Amino acid sequence: MAALAARRPPAPLLLAGIAVGGLAALPAVYLAITIAGETTSAAEAVFEPRTLEVAARTAALVAAVTASAIVLAVPLAWLTVRTDLPARRLWATLTTLPLVVPSYIGAYLLVSAFGPRGVLQDVLEPLGVEQLPSIYGFVGAWLALTLFTYPLVLIPVRGALRRLDPQLEEAAGAMGRGPGQIFRTVVLPQLVPAIGAGGLLVALYTLSDFGAVSIMRFDSFTREIYIAYQSSFDRTEAAALGAVLVIAMLALLALYARLRGARTYHRAGPGTVRPAGAIPLGRWKAPALALCGAVVVIALALPVGLLVYWSTQQLGEGVAVGSVLGNAGNSLLVAALAAGVGVIGAACVAVLAVRYPGRVSTLVERLGYAGYALPGIVVALALVFFGTRVALPLYQTLAMLVFAITIHYLPLAVGPLGAAMLQVPPRLEEAARGLGRPPLEVFRTVTAPLVASGALAGAALVFLHAVKELPATLILAPIGFETLATDIWRQTSSGFFEAAAIPALVLLLVAAPPLYLLSEKGTVTS
């Protein structure tokens, strides 16, 4: 009845929200401050011909990975949703799983399989093959990123295919169109928004990826930034390159936001969607199975199999696993702290945004995304500047590392928490107040239990990403503090492929429980 007017939030909540927003924006702000202080040398760095080359290389990689991910994902989505493919559900799960493999593990496994002194070389040498074409560089980065990011397109396209109204296809069939024509003229146009959204996620991932490109020794922006950061005392060049990268990210993010807004196609008529009948594959059944099988073998079975094989071999050789366990403990510690702190921060943002909508709340919510919009390596870099110039006692401490990872993944927790908050009618809280409980009691007994599952999903998402995080950990970790991710990276960079197997396998195992939790809840892992 009466419209509920925007109410003023309680002062502690408002202050907490502003603090979270402000802290999340700190890297972006400090990056801007750094560059503003050194405009001339920053401009020099940006307008160097080399920068343009890096930009062109990165753009080529982004375009290639996005295109190939789409080409791979759309047929897989169609096969696993709309056809009579045998064991369709199993294929649907298996083709999604490669998303779990962090890009640097994927890249490392590709190098160890197809690179010089790699598995394939060993197999082929007796046959007289002296040297394989090099996997390093563009081809390797492109392969690795495609194989482990195409599920980002697969998931939304599969969702869109399920929502399609089969009546449209039936109508086209009744007008005398064949199956191929129907797919091109009716189905594909309706999938465009989902393909676009998924493709942009792949592009964003590729643009900000550090692990795969650095293992493949491909000089994209992130690797250049890392090299510039490591090799000189004047870090303005790294900052300037970071800023260019951020601008590219923001452009893609803006495009993504627009696509998401325009994503819904309306169905032709009222009523619920009737599930579409499965399209018989006929003699195409074998090639379809071969495609699905090949993808699952290359992107899932081979990598995991190789890890398991090497790990057992290593264990058989009596390699000490003590350091791996210590590193796993560090990974768990950082990820758990980031998940815990992230959920608390996200709760402030979500309560403010959902219960007290207004200008300040909107600002806090937007600022919460600032750390997410920056690539991990840029967040880390900005915090290095901040740490060395402003907060020296915090520089290279665990607190700084957890802070960086938390703000980087904060929106992952805000999402499910905000959705859960929206499901709790304010009436419930009002009813509880009327029954004699003060506000904090109401939060404890009514709001918190009802949003608990959303908070858990948010925590699981942050944990999942934090445990795999590489560049920020590499740059910000206290001296001597190794995690599974940094250990894998260091071993691989030095060519000790077998030694990286155990930590990589442990990392996949550590990521499994939160992933299982999320898939049980139906939260898409993207």
> Contact residues for other proteins (CB under 8 A)?
1-3, 5, 425, 427-428, 430-438, 445-446, 449-450
Report how far residue 448's alpha carbon sits from residue 67's, in angstroms, rounded to the nearest whole number.
43
When the beta carbons of 123 and 431 are compared against other proteins, the nearer one is 431
Vertex 326, ends 507 and 317: CA angle to 5°?
A: 75
C-alpha closest to that of 443 among 351, 309, 326: 351
What's the closest the beta carbon of residue 453 comes to other proteins, in angstroms?
Answer: 11
CA 438 remoteness from chain centre? 40
**Torsion angle of the four alpha carbons 69, 74, 80, 83, in this order, in degrees rounded to the nearest 10:** -150
What's the closest the beta carbon of residue 462 comes to other proteins, in angstroms?
Answer: 24
What's the closest the beta carbon of residue 346 comes to other proteins, in angstroms?
Answer: 21
When the beta carbons of 11 and 286 are compared against other proteins, the nearer one is 11
What's the closest the beta carbon of residue 447 comes to other proteins, in angstroms?
Answer: 11
When the beta carbons of 52 and 452 are compared against other proteins, the nearer one is 452
Contact call for residues 349 and 406 (beta carbons, < 8 A): no
Beta-ladder partners of 279: 83
The distance between the two most distant Cα atoms of the chain, rounded to a whole number of Å, is 84
Q: Reduced to 3 states, what is the DSSP secondary structure of residue 83?
A: strand
Which residue, chain included where needed, has tokens 């920053």?
Answer: 42
When the beta carbons of 225 and 420 are compared against other proteins, the nearer one is 420
C-alpha closest to that of 97 among 404, 391, 516: 516
Distant-in-sequence, close-in-space partners of 131: CB < 8 Å, separation ≥ 6: 116, 121
When the beta carbons of 3 and 36 are compared against other proteins, the nearer one is 3
What's the closest the beta carbon of residue 273 comes to other proteins, in angstroms?
Answer: 26
What's the closest the beta carbon of residue 7 comes to other proteins, in angstroms?
Answer: 9
DSSP per-residue string spanning 90-152 = HHHHHHHGGGGS-HHHHHHHHHHHHSTTSHHHHHHGGGT---PPP-TTHHHHHHHHHHHHTHH
What's the closest the beta carbon of residue 395 comes to other proteins, in angstroms?
Answer: 45
When the beta carbons of 3 and 175 are compared against other proteins, the nearer one is 3
What's the closest the beta carbon of residue 10 comes to other proteins, in angstroms?
Answer: 12
Report how far residue 195's alpha carbon sits from residue 166's, in angstroms, rounded to the nearest whole number.
19
When the beta carbons of 235 and 355 are compared against other proteins, the nearer one is 355
What's the closest the beta carbon of residue 318 comes to other proteins, in angstroms?
Answer: 53
Report how far residue 198's alpha carbon sits from residue 434's, in angstroms, rounded to the nearest whole number.
46
When the beta carbons of 290 and 452 are compared against other proteins, the nearer one is 452
Burial class from Cβ neighbours inside 10 Å (0-12, 13-18, 19+) for residue 494 reads exposed
Contact call for residues 236 and 45 (beta carbons, < 8 A): yes
When the beta carbons of 282 and 438 are compared against other proteins, the nearer one is 438
